Amino acid sequence: MQFNRRNFLRSATVLAALSLKEVDLFAAAQQAKTGGAPVAHDDEAYWANVRQLFPLTKDLIYLNNGTFGPSPYPVIDVTRASMMDADQMGNYGAYDKTPPKIAKFVGANDDEIALTHNVTEGINIACWGLPLKKGDEVILTTHEHVGNAVPWLNRQKLHGIVIKRFTPGATADETLERISSLITNKTRAIACPHIPCTAGQVLPVKEICALARSKNIYSVIDGAHGPGMLMLDLHDIGCDTYATCSHKWMLGPKGTGFLYVRKDFQDTLQTYNIGAGGDDGWDMLTNPPAIKAYAPSAHRYYGGTQANGLYAGVNAAIDFMESIGMQNIHNRIKSLGKYTQDRLLEFGEKIELLTPTEERSRCAVNSFRIKGVDYQDFYKKCADQKIRIRSVPENGLNCSRISTHIYNNKQEIDQMIDVLKKAV
């Protein structure tokens, strides 16, 4: 559903959370809609209109999109309307428009998208589906989120696979060299993030997947931060699987995600998580009772009742992004990330920037340590000023993370920098 007056007026009435007059909200929606035509990344008046479309409180500076992407009104409104439709009319099952819509958004085919509830679920489906045996090696990073660490550690515990680790480099080439040096004749999978949650490095996944393929190694990517931040083309990346969500950079309803499984990989990736829609015929009355075949699509990896409202919200999130233009969104996000990085670099020796400065290896996320200042103390100082950042205790990295989306602006980053100036 696109921006329109009826949606916005309904949002305004139902949510009763507007600090703006309804007419302002409608005007902002009209002005934000570009249909993909170019908008300058620094056209602050344009992006201020976009900001008005988010109910995200103005009492807080939210610099933590990497954890949770707040939805704009059009997404919330469509979600609610679809839930009402289900509960008023008993309509259910209308989620089948979502996989094709997602597929188009991320450069995949309709039959390559399995719906999930979050990134973790997609990673588990991919991790459990790989035919691995004791002693097989899988390559991960030292920068994992728990969601991409624990499923593999569990297979290590239960099945005796061996986990090898690399630390992402400051450049794409360095990262590729580190991965290459870990490959042995026992390596079966590279299971790394596209963008780690820790320092937001954009890893060279296309080259990583090409390397994997050249050595008959599976490439199973944790893509938590890909869609909605990058111009994503999964066929071009060439991965076997890509697990992600719609609730971070896509700004969709929380508890929605999807797993891409390349069509010609679907007979290799075994299905464990199956139910209604996942089969191509089953019979409990034959001898023996049997599944006749799996669905000829990624539907074989999920089944059962789905949340209509949430998936209508995912469709609306994609419409919202396309109304602005994904290229415009990417450019704005990347320029705010660069602005943050430049401001951090002004501190010289006092700040250790953990995110690469290499153009292709950075985007919306920046992480840093402050010399002599505990990262938790900085988190509290920001919180005192009503600025929400993220602390990164993962894997002993002990740093601070700033992640910004299209609802942010330079003034908000400057306010975080002011807190930093007092902290150093």
Minimum separation from the CB atom of position 195 to ligand PLP (A): 7
| Site for ligand PLP contains 149 (CB under 6 A) | no
Minimum separation from the CB atom of position 166 to ligand PLP (A): 16
d(CA 51, CA 407): 5
Complex with ligand PLP: residue 204 or 325, whichever CB lies closer: 204
d(CA 405, CA 364): 7
- The DSSP annotation for 315-374 comes to HHHHHHHHHH-HHHHHHHHHHHHHHHHHHHHTTGGGEEE-S--SGGG-SSEEEEEETTB-
Instruction: Give the number of residues in contact with ligand PLP, rule: CB under 6 A.
Output: 14
| Site for ligand PLP contains 314 (CB under 6 A) | no
| Site for ligand PLP contains 197 (CB under 6 A) | yes
- Give 313's contacts (C-beta < 8 A, 6+ positions apart): 71, 75, 76, 78, 79, 82, 252, 253, 256
Complex with ligand PLP: residue 295 or 397, whichever CB lies closer: 397
Complex with ligand PLP: residue 35 or 396, whichever CB lies closer: 396
Complex with ligand PLP: residue 222 or 322, whichever CB lies closer: 222
Complex with ligand PLP: residue 28 or 179, whichever CB lies closer: 179
Complex with ligand PLP: residue 222 or 279, whichever CB lies closer: 222
Footprint (CB under 6 A) of ligand PLP, residues 235-294: 245, 257
Complex with ligand PLP: residue 160 or 393, whichever CB lies closer: 393
Which position among 50, 114, 224, 230 is part of the footprint of ligand PLP (CB under 6 A)? Answer: 224
Minimum separation from the CB atom of position 121 to ligand PLP (A): 7
Minimum separation from the CB atom of position 145 to ligand PLP (A): 3
**Residue type (1 letter), 301:** Y
Minimum separation from the CB atom of position 119 to ligand PLP (A): 3
Minimum separation from the CB atom of position 125 to ligand PLP (A): 12
Largest CA distance in the chain: 75
Paired sense of beta strands 351-353 and 365-370, if any: antiparallel
Footprint (CB under 6 A) of ligand PLP, residues 118-147: 118-120, 145, 147
d(CA 386, CA 419): 11
- Give 282's contacts (C-beta < 8 A, 6+ positions apart): 289, 290, 291, 292
Annotate each residue in 155-194 with x if it binds ligand PLP (CB under 6 A) or - if it does not, as one string: --------------------------------------x-
Q: Are 302 and 115 in contact (CB under 8 A)?
A: yes
- From 194, 192, 128, select the one nearest 161 (Cα to Cα): 128
d(CA 114, CA 110): 9
Q: Are 141 and 166 in contact (CB under 8 A)?
A: yes
Footprint (CB under 6 A) of ligand PLP, residues 59-98: 67
Footprint (CB under 6 A) of ligand PLP, residues 100-119: 118-119
- Give 171's contacts (C-beta < 8 A, 6+ positions apart): 356, 358, 361
d(CA 23, CA 73): 14
Complex with ligand PLP: residue 247 or 343, whichever CB lies closer: 247
Sign of the CA dihedral with 308 first, then 311, 317, and 320 last: negative
Which residues of the shown chain bind ligand PLP in the complex (CB under 6 A)?
A: 67, 118-120, 145, 147-148, 193, 196-197, 222, 224, 245, 257
